[in-house]
Structure 1
């Protein structure tokens, strides 16, 4: 069976765009050519991969199963091409990095700047996603390196190494009633109006664990998917939140926010770097990791 790359690219792009015309435009092919390759692939596999619904092409159950492998193969093929180009273009290349929000915002900017000065011929692409998604991107070979804030984890194909601790702290404004209290118990904290992070974030997952451990529920929670929006909302003095200590050190130093240790907090989260052991460990990955290790976080 001839599963050439163009057919696999069509499957991945059609799932993304949902229209054959858009796939044809991106690949520089004519629409009938795309349709031919798709039908030929379905004939080879002996099953439908897509079905038409409301003028959109939607994956079938078997199509979703096939897409999982198509994405991996496409990523590996792109990586193989890139690796060969790296060897023929010394000091040049592309490095794909995925990072969760805290390291992407509060750690990576200075590192990316320094790396760019040292290796001006290298192009870096950065995808900012929640930690669980960064792990998925590493497993599926979509990125070279992940920088993520999470509890310790194990996945068979991933190598990961802790860079520094990423402690969660209770954060509120100096005008909040908590500012004058010398001691904050879990029950007192749970009585405050809470701002919660998005469900996919590791901060939200650890916040939920703390409430569950203390057999408490957050009061009148507000859900926000932006850490900067959460910090701005805290300035009013009406809410509290659990936030990465790294993310609020500047505001605390300036006196516009306060932070306290979370009582009965028995979890440990770190900033990790991680890469797929099955992916080519290029010189660029090694150079970036070396820089990560030398900078005090």
Structure 2
């Protein structure tokens, strides 16, 4: 069994015609037919079935399809990695970012990198932190930049701290909190709270903070975008938690109608902006250079 035969299985399932498969692979139709028969002889069972001019997979063929898709996908990935491994002239770097770093931290670095290496295409996915970890484990991205405040349980992930951050309370400038020298836990619990996206670091942080202080946050709204949370607070819809780094990268947050205060009560460890990659996959030249850009901030 070779990769050409497995590609034929995948393409037959997609196109249902030998002529179309031959065109995609750049082969003659008799050559494709030869490989199909050879595969069936090798496995000792029928893999293909012809019905009304269309070729479909038998049940055995459908069982093989799953593995054929995985093997051909990994083969293509390996070819691309080797081709782009030591070059900064071309290639694609797939980066995943948590919601806060993706909106406030990564764009500046990405802009500098793209100006210096215009041949590298950056494919940046901004998702909730739990989704980013899953994408990294599934090799859907090459690197991740996100907030963490505790070690990962996954042994195959390498974490490198880029910068310390802090979670602060944000509230409208006109709020009664502005007149207080100190805000306590119960006062926060009595206010409408604008919650961040499920699966995001800051959502998990707020839930751990509430549990540590034995209060329930009044979750009056939930929003997937950090910017939307900030704007909701600015419009006096409620209060929320935010990263200090994210606020510093805003244009004059005080003039935007948002004020900040330290979090009271029992604290949860503050987050760190972290670079994460897999130990078991090689990092390309583009990935190594992008990591260097992150470290230089």
Instruction: Give 1:259's aligned residue.
Output: 260
Matches of 2:240 and 2:142, distance apart in 1: 33
Matches of 1:252 and 1:279, distance apart in 2: 40
Across the aligned residues of Structure 1 and Structure 2, the Cα RMSD in angstroms comes to: 3.1
Q: Work out whether residues 146 and 275 of structure 2, in 8 Å CA contact, stay in contact via their aligned partners in 1.
A: yes
Instruction: Give 2:79's aligned residue.
Output: 81
Q: State the SS of the aligned residue for 1:135.
A: helix
Matches of 2:191 and 2:239, distance apart in 1: 7
Matches of 1:148 and 1:5, distance apart in 2: 38
Matches of 2:243 and 2:99, distance apart in 1: 10
Give the counterpart of 1:283 among 282, 285, 289: 285
Matches of 1:124 and 1:188, distance apart in 2: 44
Q: State the SS of the aligned residue for 1:216.
A: coil
Task: Tell me whether 149-158 or 98-107 shows the greater mean CA deviation.
Answer: 149-158
Q: State the SS of the aligned residue for 1:252.
A: coil
Matches of 1:277 and 1:137, distance apart in 2: 15
Instruction: Give 2:211's aligned residue.
Output: 212
Q: Provide Cα deviations, 1:247-267, integer angstroms capped at 9, x if missing partner.
A: 223243535210111013232
Q: Provide Cα deviations, 1:216-247, integer angstroms capped at 9, x if missing partner.
A: 11125211112111111111234100111122
Instruction: Give 1:62's aligned residue.
Output: none
Instruction: Give 2:59's aligned residue.
Output: 39
Does residue 270 of structure 1 match 2:272? yes
Matches of 1:183 and 1:8, distance apart in 2: 67
Give the counterpart of 1:111 among 92, 109, 112: 109
Matches of 1:41 and 1:2, distance apart in 2: 15
Matches of 1:89 and 1:277, distance apart in 2: 21
Residue 187 (structure 1) shift? 0.9
Instruction: Give 2:36's aligned residue.
Output: none
Residue 206 (structure 1) shift? 0.8
Matches of 2:86 and 2:203, distance apart in 1: 45
Matches of 1:8 and 1:243, distance apart in 2: 50
Give the 3 Å change call, closer, same or farther, for CA 87–240 of structure 1 in structure 2: closer
Number of aligned residues: 259
Q: Provide Cα deviations, 1:82-113, integer angstroms capped at 9, x if missing partner.
A: 12322686621111111111111111111111
Q: Work out whether residues 99 and 131 of structure 1, in 8 Å CA contact, stay in contact via their aligned partners in 2.
A: yes
Give the 3 Å change call, closer, same or farther, for CA 121–156 of structure 1 in structure 2: same
Does residue 157 of structure 1 match 2:177? no
Matches of 1:162 and 1:9, distance apart in 2: 42
Instruction: Give 1:132's aligned residue.
Output: 130
Give the 3 Å change call, closer, same or farther, for CA 136–87 of structure 1 in structure 2: closer
Residue 180 (structure 1) shift? 0.7
Unaligned stretches of 5+ residues in structure 1? 11-19, 50-65
Matches of 2:198 and 2:173, distance apart in 1: 27
Give the 3 Å change call, closer, same or farther, for CA 196–90 of structure 1 in structure 2: closer
Q: State the SS of the aligned residue for 1:289.
A: helix
- When the two structures are superposed, what TM-score results if normalisation uses the length of structure 2? 0.77
Instruction: Give 1:226's aligned residue.
Output: 225
Residue 5 (structure 1) shift? 5.2
Unaligned stretches of 5+ residues in structure 2? 23-48
Q: Work out whether residues 195 and 222 of structure 2, in 8 Å CA contact, stay in contact via their aligned partners in 1.
A: yes
Matches within 5 A, 1:225-244: 225-244=224-243
